[in-house]
Chains A and B, each alone.
Chain A
Amino acid sequence: MLTKKQLFTRGMLDISPHMLSVIPFGIICGAIGVELGFNPYLVYAMSFIIFGGASQIVFLQVLSGGATSLVAVTSVAIINSRHLLYGAVLSEYLEKLSLIKKLIISYFIVDQGFAESNKFFKKNKSEQHLHYHLIGTGCTMWICWQAATLSGIILGSFVPEELGLKFTIPLTFLAIVVQDLKKIDHLIVMITCGLSSLLFFDAPFKSYIIIAPVIALFVASLILRLKK
């Protein structure tokens, strides 16, 4: 049985390789915000209030493109609606926690943290304080994200765009799913999701990001039915 501290540390360690892409991306997000002409305090406040990676850039780009706040807010909500799926998966492991703990932990749910903690949970179902792993991944992500976006805001136009550091984002997610490529059912689900995301890329409010997973999960349910 691992202690709370061991689980927390394990969470930090498990997510830390992803900082290789999270930090450059955070710097870019901060820099873009300032370059689009927004108040630096406002750009930083988003990292604290929304804490939602790409959705922060989309919010500012939509506004600076002349759209209404309603469109910007709707886009953020739709992009981040994928967290509903993460929550549904994680709920099984967090159900024994008190309401207040659930409310606090919820703030720290992020893509990579969900992915790494979920992998850990599946292998260590009998551990008692599993949620400390999730707090470990979430806090690491939070600290790095705040520091990175803040650096981007300060550096602004000094951030070299030609390096193409945005490309680290698909790479970090590739690293998460790559081991499941050998399972044919997962491979089909991934391809379905990927192709659907391209097909629906022009759907309003960036909704491809939730349409594609819904289609892919539907295909997953069909696969499960065929397996029987």
Chain B
Amino acid sequence: MTWLSIIIAGILTYLTRMTMIVLIDRDMLGDKIKAVLEYVPSAVFPAIIFPAIFINDYGSFVEMNDPKIFGAIVATIVGYFSKNIIATIISGLISYWFLIFVVFN
């Protein structure tokens, strides 16, 4: 039963990936819609970022002094100026570790 539901979940996931690519051709999207679609990365990724920072494993809001908030601020500043993905991830992770292992320990 679990196997069957994994296969169904897989097919549905594949459909989410495939549908638009196969169905849409150039004439279907007007300039207005294309202009809105320019915002897709900015409109989608914060929905992954925000809950991962501000909501804990138990589904409630974190405290204002949570290490993840601090790590995210450091990563944002470093990422903004360095324009480097590796520097962004490492700086955020290290500042987060610094807080949980050194400061709050």
A-to-B contact residues, CB < 8 Å: 17-18, 20-21, 38, 42, 45-46, 49-52, 54-55, 59, 63, 69, 72-73, 76-77, 80-92, 94-95, 99, 102-103, 105-107, 109, 111, 115, 118, 162-164, 166-182, 185-186, 189-198, 201-202, 208-209, 212-213, 216-217, 220-221, 224
Contacts and interface: CB of A to CB of B under 8 A. Distances in A.
Contact of B36 (A55, A105, A115, A224): A224
B44 A193 contact: yes
A213 B37 CA distance: 11
9 contacts: A17-B84, A81-B16, A87-B21, A89-B37, A94-B21, A109-B17, A162-B100, A167-B71, A174-B49
B47 A95 contact: no
Interface of B: 1-10, 12-14, 16-26, 29, 32, 34-37, 39-55, 59, 61, 68, 71-72, 75-76, 79-80, 83-86, 88-90, 92-93, 96-97, 100
B6 A59 contact: yes
Nearest to A108: B17
Contact of A84 (B5, B16, B72, B88): B16
Given A88-B29, A220-B39, A181 B76 contact: yes
Report which residue of A63, A166, A172, A185 has the largest number of chain B beta carbons within 10 angstroms of its beta carbon: A172
Report which residue of A99, A115, A186, A197 has the largest number of chain B beta carbons within 10 angstroms of its beta carbon: A197
Contacts of A182: 80
Contacts, number: 265
A176 B41 CA distance: 8
Contacts of A45: 3, 6
B95 to A, nearest CB: 10
Contacts of B34: 92
A212 B20 contact: no
User: Ordered nearest first, which 8 A-B pairs have the shortest CB separation?
Assistant: A87-B20, A49-B10, A216-B43, A17-B85, A106-B18, A194-B46, A194-B50, A69-B5
Given A103-B22, A224-B35, A72 B14 contact: no
Contacts of B61: 198
Report which residue of A99, A173, A174, A176 has the largest number of chain B beta carbons within 10 angstroms of its beta carbon: A174
A36 to B, nearest CB: 12
B54 A171 contact: no
Contacts of A107: 14, 17-18
A182 B80 CA distance: 9
B48 to A, nearest CB: 5
Given A84-B16, A88-B24, A216-B44, 9 more contacts: A59-B9, A86-B20, A167-B93, A175-B75, A178-B79, A193-B44, A198-B51, A220-B42, A224-B36
Given A179-B80, A198-B50, A201-B55, A20 B89 contact: yes
Nearest to B7: A49
Given A94-B21, A102-B21, A73 B12 contact: yes
A90 B5 CA distance: 29
